[in-house]
Every structure is written in structure tokens, then in C-alpha cells.
């Protein structure tokens, strides 16, 4: 178990190296130079190793001291972050919160979460940018973004909030003169509507319960950047669409759409909250992410 004096010793040691002297470290910590020296010696005695070579003019790190210094910096910074984080959790969220989110997802799912958030945190003003484009959080000044799909490698910080399965659907009217496909290979005989905001708009994979995986490739007569629009066209009998569950579940339940190849499943579309920096998360951002996660978890 780490004693309080050990943390004080680590702090004095760090500041002595950063400031260049024990006297400066003592001033920074509000203690005498003699007391700072005692803390450093006690730390070395506890570790059983010399951390610093002392001379009349300067301090220099030993090899062990160099390694320990780097660990001290990381540990003390993490403690400071944890303390500040605990403080923000007690703070009442207020001020402007800028959010970017996908349009179709927001229309289908986000509304009730935002209404709940506004009720619970009346001191927050929300500005939402709703579109299917991938926003530049840093360049455009957003506090948080909600993103669907696999994330590219990025320095941004991501928290997974949930996921939505992709479901292949079509309207009963579309199948008036066509047979329901019995295998993914039969889809070549059907019109498939393509969603353009993916890496492979005219190709997707389906798997059965036994783990067999089939790639479905097609040439789309119609392509669009809004999944909600494609679902509307599917409802009008214009073709099949692979769409996230939040856009089609109600239509399936009420018979307006049919689940095509129900024994075959596509991938699940993950939902992440993205924040720009690995720094202290503001209370507005943390509370918004928590509320959205509650609603997504209840879906």
C-alpha cells in the first residue's frame, strides 16, 4: 500500500528534477529545503536505490532515477487527472455543447435522448450538426461526435456506446412478381439500393448460423448518401436495402417491410462517441455521453 509520505516524496523528487534544485522544489511545495531533502532521502531509503546524484550546483539522475522519474510523472499526472475528474462529476453541467451526429440515426433514435438530456440539464445549450458527412472535430470546434460504423485509426478518443445490426429488407409489394431469395446467391436477381457512406457501397457479406460467409456484390441502379432515404425507397417497392435496425424495426413489426434472408446476418454497426482530446472531459460532454448510452442501451 502506498503511504501518503511516498506520494509527497515522489512529488518533491519530480519537482526537484523539473526545477533543477531541491530548494526550488521546496518553494513549489510550500516547505523548507531541509524538509524537501528529508522527503527525497526517505524515498530513496524506501526504494533501496539512489535516485539523484547531488552536487553543489545541480542534481543529476542516476540510471534508476531516470526510469523512476518517468514513472513518477505518469503516476502523479494520472492522480491529478483523477482528482479533477471527480470534481467535474460533481459540477452541474452548463454552457454550450456542440455535437455532431448522423442524420438518419438522429431522426430515428437521438431525439428522445436529447429531450431527456435537456430536461435533466437545463443549464446546457445544445448545438447539433446533423448530417451524414464525417465532421472534423478539431477543425470545426465540436465537443463530441456520434459516429456509426468502424472507426479509422485516429488520435481522437472513442467510447463505444452500443451497436445496431444491419438487416436486409424489402417491401411486400416489391415481391409481388418476384420470389423471396432463399440464398445470398439469389440476390443477383434482385435490385439492391446502395448506401454510399461505406467503404464498399456495392458489396456486403452475410453469414449463417454455421459460420458460412458469402460476399454479395452487385451493381446498384440507385445510390444515395442517406440511409433513411433508401429505406423510404424500399417502402415504395423500389428494391432491397441493407439498413441498420433502428431504421427498419418498426416497419418490420407492422408488416411494411419483410426481413430478407432471416437465417443470414450481416455485420453490426457500432456506435461510438468521439471526443477531441485525451484530457479532462467536461461535465457537459460526460453527461451527454452517459445519457445517450442509456438510451442506446435500452433500444
- Rounded mean pLDDT for each run of 10 residues along the chain, 299 residues in total: 71 88 88 88 89 77 89 83 62 88 91 94 94 79 88 74 94 90 92 90 92 91 92 96 95 96 94 78 89 86
Q: What is residue 116's predicted lDDT score, i.e. its pLDDT?
A: 95
Q: What is residue 5's predicted lDDT score, i.e. its pLDDT?
A: 79
Instruction: Copy the grid coordinates of residue 88.
Output: 467535474
Q: What is residue 1's predicted lDDT score, i.e. its pLDDT?
A: 41
Q: What is residue 153's predicted lDDT score, i.e. its pLDDT?
A: 58
Q: What backbone torsions phi and psi does residue 59 show, to the nearest 5 degrees? A: -105, 140
Ordered domains of the chain (ranges, CATH): 4-90 (1.10.10.10), 95-162+270-297 (3.40.190.10), 164-267 (3.40.190.290)
Q: Which residues contact 263 (CB under 8 A, 6 or more apart)?
A: 208, 209
What's 205's DSSP letter?
E
Alpha carbon 290 to its chain's center: 12
Q: What is residue 93's predicted lDDT score, i.e. its pLDDT?
A: 87
Instruction: List, in sequence order, every residue forming a beta bridge with 223; answer none if it has no partner.
Output: 194
Q: What is residue 236's predicted lDDT score, i.e. its pLDDT?
A: 96
Q: 6-9 — which CB contacts under 8 Å span 24+ positions? A: 6/43, 6/46, 7/76, 7/79, 8/39, 9/39, 9/40, 9/42, 9/43, 9/46
Separation CA 158–CA 99 (nearest Å): 14
Amino acid at each position: 500500500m502506498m503511504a501518503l509520505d511516498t506520494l509527497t516524496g515522489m512529488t518533491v523528487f519530480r519537482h526537484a528534477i523539473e526545477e533543477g534544485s531541491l530548494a526550488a522544489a521546496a518553494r513549489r511545495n510550500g516547505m523548507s529545503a531541509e524538509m524537501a531533502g528529508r522527503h527525497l532521502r526517505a524515498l530513496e531509503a524506501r526504494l533501496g536505490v539512489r535516485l539523484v546524484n547531488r552536487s553543489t550546483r545541480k542534481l543529476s539522475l542516476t540510471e534508476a532515477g531516470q526510469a523512476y522519474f518517468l514513472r513518477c510523472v505518469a503516476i502523479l499526472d494520472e492522480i491529478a487527472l483523477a482528482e479533477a475528474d471527480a470534481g467535474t462529476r460533481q459540477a452541474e453541467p452548463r454552457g454550450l455543447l456542440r455535437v455532431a451526429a448522423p442524420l438518419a440515426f438522429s431522426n430515428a433514435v437521438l431525439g428522445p435522448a436529447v429531450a431527456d438530456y435537456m430536461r435533466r440539464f437545463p443549464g446546457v445549450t445544445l448545438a447539433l450538426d446533423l448530417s451524414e458527412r464525417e465532421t472534423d472535430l478539431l477543425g470545426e470546434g465540436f465537443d463530441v461526435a456520434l459516429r456509426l460504423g468502424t472507426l479509422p485509426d485516429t488520435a481522437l478518443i472513442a467510447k463505444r456506446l452500443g451497436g445496431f445490426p444491419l438487416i436486409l429488407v424489402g417491401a411486400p409489394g416489391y415481391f409481388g412478381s418476384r420470389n423471396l431469395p432463399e440464398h445470398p446467391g439469389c440476390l443477383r436477381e434482385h435490385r439492391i439500393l446502395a448506401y454510399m457512406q461505406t467503404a464498399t457501397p456495392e458489396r456486403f457479406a452475410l453469414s449463417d448460423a454455421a459460420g458460412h460467409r458469402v460476399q454479395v456484390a452487385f451493381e446498384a441502379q440507385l445510390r444515395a448518401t442517406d440511409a433513411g432515404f433508401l429505406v423510404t425507397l424500399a417502402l415504395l417497392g423500389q428494391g432491397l436495402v441493407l439498413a441498420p435496425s433502428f431504421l427498419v424495426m418498426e416497419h418490420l413489426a407492422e408488416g411494411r417491410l419483410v426481413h430478407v434472408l432471416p437465417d443470414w446476418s450481416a455485420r453490426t454497426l457500432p456506435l461510438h462517441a468521439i471526443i477531441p482530446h485525451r484530457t479532462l472531459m467536461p461535465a457537459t460532454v460526460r453527461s451527454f455521453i452517459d445519457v445517450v448510452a442509456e438510451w442506446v442501451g435500452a433500444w
